[in-house]
Amino acid sequence: MKGIKIIFVPIYLVSLFISIIVLVYLYYSNRIFDPSLLQYGFVLLFIFTPLYLFLSQNNKVQYFRFSLLFLLGFLIVHFQLYLDYLIGNHTLAIIEMFKINSVGMQGFYLALVATFVFYFGYVTFQYIKKKNARRKSVNSKYYRVFFLKAILIALFLTYFSTSNFTYFKGNYGKVPNTSIASYIEYFLILTIVAYIIVVSINLKENYIKKKLSVYLKAFDYKILIIIAIYLFSVISSGDRGSIFLIAMSLFLGYIYASNKIIPVFYIVITGIVGILFLFIIGISREIRGTSNMSIQKLQTAKKIASITKGYQSISPYTYELSRSLRAYHGSILYVNDNGLRYGLVNLYQISGVIPGLGRLFKIIASKSEWELVSSKIITEYLHGYKASHGLGTTTISDIYMDFGLPGIIIIFLLFGIFVRLIDENLNSKTHLKLINICFLFGFTIYAVYIGRASMAGIFRHSIVIYLIILISQIPYKLKTK
């Protein structure tokens, strides 16, 4: 099997390269909407994707890895509604995405180029690097958690003391929480992730059998109670993102600490249950009521889900995720009419690593947030400043608005290499640098959402997690001096 892969890799890479060249040519020369070109594009996608999955496997197959989770979300966001359109599922919501036909074909070409370049970078790096020098292991390190727990508790108390409690009565998206509470919540979530990382690192250093019970006992029960209270409030408000991030962090922490290969059966079952749960919460928050935890409200949401799931999309449970295509098309139309942003969008995202730096960046650039955040730029451009809701963004949109097609090719090639490194780090038996572990967790927990988010934003989250852990260790270093 290994010999077959090595022989087949050059053929696969050459085929990808030729396809990318053809797609780039079509992008610049033929933007007229043509369903037959959609068909040919999907044929290529359905050929290259299974081959990528085959070539990217190691001898020990770990199905829970960043590359697979990222690809799942990315393909849903950028291709599901194209497929719906192609098979004749012309609901009003889907037709809305294709009002501007030329933009539709541009988006399809761009998405295929980004996907194939990602495959090219991942597979190339995997096989070029394979027999090179061994990975260097860094010295093992034990991280103390007392001050990290103190930071977490302080953020937890500050969050609830500054929150608008009407927000927790099923009003996510209707009644905003206070600005200071939203700001504190961002750091609270990342501090919880930092705590899970530190516990996982420390547990990995112990040479005992890493059973799930041992992993759970490694956490301070008081912190687990705090996390549970916070998650209860999240569910009650109608939000879903924090639940997913923390659940993913706990699951990933167990895999990292134990080096276990998780059977695909358990991943599929967990994924189905999780998607259904998040889908029900998503519908229930659209129903006016006292709380998202109301039994009556959840039962009503379940009935609505069973009624609507049959005609919305080929995959109704991922339909909401796929609707980001509207924002994606909006970003292309914006660039067609206004030109590129030349790095401002992504630099502003990264500047958020240090509190206050984003504000300074706006002053230096002489731009408002409506000119620097892709989701706001797209929403304002399509619906005006007084839009009732934001359209969001996609990972291609952020890059395309700054750097165009050349930026898509360069950044997704590098991203393919980066993702391969993350996959290798997950099951590494050697000690990793803390920054590498933070990138592993930071990107993996957001993997499914990266398709509809900013790549630079996820990079910023990972750096903030790293800084939180470093800051929590400063008091111990001062004591030893």
Show which of 103, 135, 167 is a domain's final residue: 135
Does the pLDDT of residue 174 top 80, yes or no? no
Q: Mean pLDDT, to the nearest integer, of 403-411? A: 96
The top-scoring range by mean pLDDT among 90-94, 217-221, 245-249, 404-408 is: 404-408
Confidence band, pLDDT 50/70/90 cuts, at residue 2 = low
Instruction: Please give the pLDDT value at position 93.
Output: 61
Does the pLDDT of residue 151 top 90, yes or no? yes
Q: Mean pLDDT, to the nearest integer, of 48-73? A: 82
The vertex-55 CA angle with 51 and 60, nearest 5°, equals 130
- Domain count for the chain, please give it: 2
Report CA-CA distances (Å) from 164 to 160, 161, 177, 181, 182: 8, 9, 5, 8, 10
- Minimum mean pLDDT range among 114-128, 167-181, 411-425: 167-181
In terms of domains, do 40 and 185 share one? no
- Minimum mean pLDDT range among 12-21, 52-61, 103-112: 52-61
371 within some domain: no
What domain range includes position 47? Answer: 2-135
In terms of domains, do 244 and 130 share one? no
The top-scoring range by mean pLDDT among 69-78, 205-214, 270-279 is: 69-78
Show which of 135, 164, 196 is a domain's final residue: 135
Report pTM: 0.87
Q: Mean pLDDT, to the nearest integer, of 151-161? A: 95
Does the pLDDT of residue 293 top 50, yes or no? no
Give the C-alpha separation, 178 to 209, whole Å.
45
Instruction: Please give the pLDDT value at position 294.
Output: 46
- Minimum mean pLDDT range among 105-109, 278-282, 403-407: 278-282
Instruction: Please give the pLDDT value at position 101.
Output: 60
As a whole number, the mean pLDDT across the chain is: 82
Confidence band, pLDDT 50/70/90 cuts, at residue 138 = low
In terms of domains, do 110 and 201 share one? no
Virtual torsion, Cα 334, 337, 339, 341, nearest 10 deg: -30
Between 390 and 48, the higher pLDDT residue: 48
Report CA-CA distances (Å) from 216 to 220, 245, 428: 9, 17, 21
Instruction: Please give the pLDDT value at position 297.
Output: 47
Q: Cα-flanking dihedrals φ and ψ of residue 239, to 5°?
A: -75, 160
Between 189 and 65, the higher pLDDT residue: 189
Instruction: Please give the pLDDT value at position 42.
Output: 96
Q: Mean pLDDT, to the nearest integer, of 404-408? A: 95
Between 215 and 240, the higher pLDDT residue: 215
Give the C-alpha separation, 405 to 403, whole Å.
7
8 Å CB contact between 392 and 331: no
In terms of domains, do 190 and 209 share one? yes
385 within some domain: no
In terms of domains, do 156 and 248 share one? yes
In terms of domains, do 86 and 219 share one? no
How does DSSP classify residue 176? P
C-alpha 457 chain-centroid distance: 10
Q: Cα-flanking dihedrals φ and ψ of residue 72, to 5°?
A: -60, -55
User: Which of left, alpha, beta for 313 (phi over 0: left; psi -120 to 50: alpha)?
Assistant: beta
Does the pLDDT of residue 16 top 50, yes or no? yes
Does the pLDDT of residue 171 top 70, yes or no? no
Does the pLDDT of residue 213 top 90, yes or no? no
In terms of domains, do 163 and 85 share one? no
Instruction: Please give the pLDDT value at position 426.
Output: 82
304 within some domain: yes
The top-scoring range by mean pLDDT among 48-57, 152-161, 470-479 is: 152-161
User: Which of left, alpha, beta for 173 (phi over 0: left; psi -120 to 50: alpha)?
Assistant: left
Give the C-alpha separation, 128 to 165, whole Å.
55
Does the pLDDT of residue 285 top 90, yes or no? no
Does the pLDDT of residue 60 top 70, yes or no? no
Does the pLDDT of residue 236 top 80, yes or no? yes
In terms of domains, do 79 and 122 share one? yes
Between 305 and 382, the higher pLDDT residue: 382
In terms of domains, do 92 and 197 share one? no
In terms of domains, do 233 and 162 share one? yes
Confidence band, pLDDT 50/70/90 cuts, at residue 301 = very low
In terms of domains, do 31 and 103 share one? yes
